Amino acid sequence: MLPSTIWAQTGAPHSADYRWLPAGQYDARQTLSSRFAPPTGAARQPVAAGSFGSWLRHLPLQPAGAAVHLYNGQLKTPQTVHAAVLRIDVGKRDLQQCADAVIRLRGEYLFSQQPDKIHFHLTSGHDIWFADWYAGKGFRVNGEAVEPATKAVEAPTHVVFRHYLDQIFTYAGTRSVEREMQPVAMNTLQPGDVFVQGGSPGHAVLVLDVSVNPKTGRRYFLLAQSYMPAQEIHVLRNLQNPKLSPWYELNDQAPLQTPEWDFTIHQLRRF
């Protein structure tokens, strides 16, 4: 039985659901859900076993107090915006920035479930499928044109998937992520949604988890981002409300203020 099938039946994640981790190194004591309890009186919003929301909720974290590093090993400046650092590689090139972090986590989830459903748009609008990529149907960019290019046929391993992602990161961005997702209302917020402002510069942050206070109806959420230069994906602090941090309270009438970017209520998207 496939690990993802086991998870769907038991609700328990495995190393195989986070394929970048070495086998057997998933630690359920160092995850998003184990580290960050909901605010007082709130409970995590139910999500289906095996869903993107459940997968995000169980993401592995580096130990408490870990610093955020750039792709070149240097420290991010500042070190005051994060509450935790995800245990996932950033790569050795300046590629995995803000929109790329969204693509990375969505892609890794699909790779753990149904790899042949992985596809992302380039800024040009071209839709690049992983199944085509490993089957030998690559692409090259020639000025403003994106042209088909033959490449070696490869097995759909995680190494090959990472090579595919690096190509996507190179030619995708906040504009392409914004266009390929659907706008949704703030009051429907759920894990896996993305606040995104397309542009140059633009920015994107991913909703990792949602909790609800059943008595008051108040809803809260956790956010993650990468930034420029490419850096380790990290859980954002709430600098506007340190007592609630890292949770944010949903307000569908006011802009969302994050440590390094503000978003309007109309900039929420969903895959």
Which residues lie across from 146 on neighbouring strands? 141
Residue 70 DSSP code: B
pLDDT at 256: 98
Q: The tokens of 235 are what? A: 């859980």
- Indicate whether 131 belongs to any domain: yes
> Which domain does 151 fall in, by range?
98-177
The dihedrals phi and psi of 65, each to the nearest 5 degrees, come to: 90, -5
Q: The tokens of 166 are what? A: 């690096």
The dihedrals phi and psi of 8, each to the nearest 5 degrees, come to: -60, -30
Number of domains the chain is built from: 1
- Indicate whether 15 belongs to any domain: no
Buried residues in 246-261 as b, exposed as e (16+ CB within 10 A): bbbebeeeeebebbeb
Which of 7, 100, 3, 115 is CA-nearest to residue 51? 7
pLDDT at 10: 42
Which of 137, 177, 134 is CA-nearest to residue 154? 134
The dihedrals phi and psi of 119, each to the nearest 5 degrees, come to: -160, 145
Q: Are strands 256-258 and 261-263 parallel, antiparallel or unpaired?
A: antiparallel
pLDDT at 12: 64
- Indicate whether 82 belongs to any domain: no
Q: How far is CA 112 from CA 4, 5, 55, 107, 210, in A?
A: 7, 10, 10, 9, 22
- Indicate whether 213 belongs to any domain: no
Count CB neighbours of 65 within 10 A.
Answer: 7
User: Residue 257, SS3?
Assistant: strand
The dihedrals phi and psi of 35, each to the nearest 5 degrees, come to: -85, -40
Euclidean distance between CA atoms 80 and 259, whole angstroms: 9
pLDDT at 11: 56
- Indicate whether 22 belongs to any domain: no
Give pLDDT tens digits along the chain (271 positions).
333 433 443 456 777 899 999 988 999 999 999 999 999 999 999 999 999 999 999 999 999 999 999 999 999 999 999 999 999 999 999 999 999 999 999 999 999 999 999 999 999 999 999 999 999 999 999 988 999 999 999 999 999 999 999 999 999 999 999 999 999 999 999 999 999 999 988 999 999 999 999 999 999 999 999 999 999 999 999 999 999 999 999 999 999 999 999 999 999 999 9
Alpha-carbon torsion (242, 243, 246, 249), positive or negative: negative
Q: How far is CA 209 from CA 123, 165, 168, in A?
A: 28, 24, 26
pLDDT at 200: 87
HSE toward the beta carbon, residue 221, CA cutoff 13 A = 25
- Indicate whether 127 belongs to any domain: yes
Q: How far is CA 185 from CA 63, 103, 232, in A?
A: 35, 21, 29
pLDDT at 117: 97
- Indicate whether 36 belongs to any domain: no
- Indicate whether 161 belongs to any domain: yes
pLDDT at 16: 82
